[in-house]
Amino acid sequence: MNNHVRQRFLFIILSLTLIGHLTIATTVQAQLPDPDGKPADMTKKVQVFIIMGQSNTLEMGKVAGGEGSLEHAVKNESLYPFMIDDAGNWTKRQDVRNLHVMGSGGPGKTRVLRDDWLTVSGGKIGIETGIGHQLGNALDAPVLILKSAIGNRSLGWDLLPPNSPSYEFTDTKSGKTFVYAGYGQSPDKWEKGTEPTPIGWKAGVQYDGDVARAQDVLKDIGKYYPGATEYEVAGFLWWQGDKDRYNTGHASKYEENLNNLIAALRKEFNAPKAKFVCATLGQTSMENAKGNEKLILDAMLAISDAKKYPNFKGDVATVYTNPLSMGSASNGHYGGNAKTYMNVGLGMGKAMVELLKK
């Protein structure tokens, strides 16, 4: 099936629910109305949705150009009609604020990469576009999409949550037992019985930094969302896993670490019932996954299995993105194809809306 036909097929009203999972396979973009341009009801608390992960959460989808660009998708393929107004200009939501903060490592050295009302500006878009349109349409309250993320980070090391301990594994070739660092320890891996050599990084340092940067924004909410005085963290959105797929130790512990991450984020942001949406790697299919990619895919599907994790029932969803991806892979940022980022964002946003309804 070519990409053009595949894209049309995706937007037939279709959602896939696996046994024990809430797994959104696609979204219904035709049902999204045009933004009305009106501000949100500021008597209500700002609903904050925090995006975390690695480089695939960044703005990687190209706006201008030929096939694969957002302009081509909208103007030549008649997709995402809510993205442009009658004059052909990009629409702007006055009820959804789009903010991206970034820094390498721990707290401090924060850069504000974007702080505006949800629209298309600059040369790239990310998943926050689709997420923001879904949430803006579904909620009467003001919405803040708060992204705190940077590229090239693994859940098993850089983003390791504080409740994930160290663990051991035995190398089958050498017979040696290695220890993977838990939170606050370094280095990543060392041979048991030897003295680890300190390095200038620690497990969880990027987790510390990304959480702190998001918390700094929320301490001064009125600065980033004009007119805001109160907020609540309503949900987290996670698209990550590329770096972990190169390390069997990290991949094998992905489910445990992801489970711990949800609990840790809820605690950090005082949001015990905040919803959590996880998106899978686009190149990884349920039919053909193997090795580390299968370990990560299985882990992502497992956390939304209410039988396995009853404490997450109705609160966690996994978006299976393979049918939404328009080519390439996570390590190539899906070739910069804007439709991948729109589709995945719309899918994640729809999944979050469905969880909020529960």
pLDDT of 184 = 87
Residue 179 covered by a domain: no
Residue 87 covered by a domain: yes
**Number of domains the chain contains:** 1
Residue 200 covered by a domain: no
Task: Write out pLDDT tens, residues 23-74.
Answer: 554 444 446 899 999 999 999 999 999 999 999 999 999 999 999 999 999 9
Residue 32 covered by a domain: yes
Q: What is the mean pLDDT of the chain?
A: 91
The pLDDT confidence band at residue 185, using thresholds 50, 70 and 90, is confident
Residue 220 covered by a domain: no
Residue 188 covered by a domain: no
pLDDT of 22 = 53
Contact 311, 350 (CB under 8 A): no
Range of the structural domain that residue 238 is part of: 3-152+227-257+271-357
Task: Write out pLDDT tens, residues 296-328.
Answer: 999 999 999 999 999 999 999 999 999 999 989
pLDDT of 89 = 95
Residue 216 covered by a domain: no
Give the span between the Cα atoms of 328 and 282, in whole angstroms.
Answer: 9
Residue 324 covered by a domain: yes
**What is the CATH classification number for the domain harbouring 116?**
3.40.50
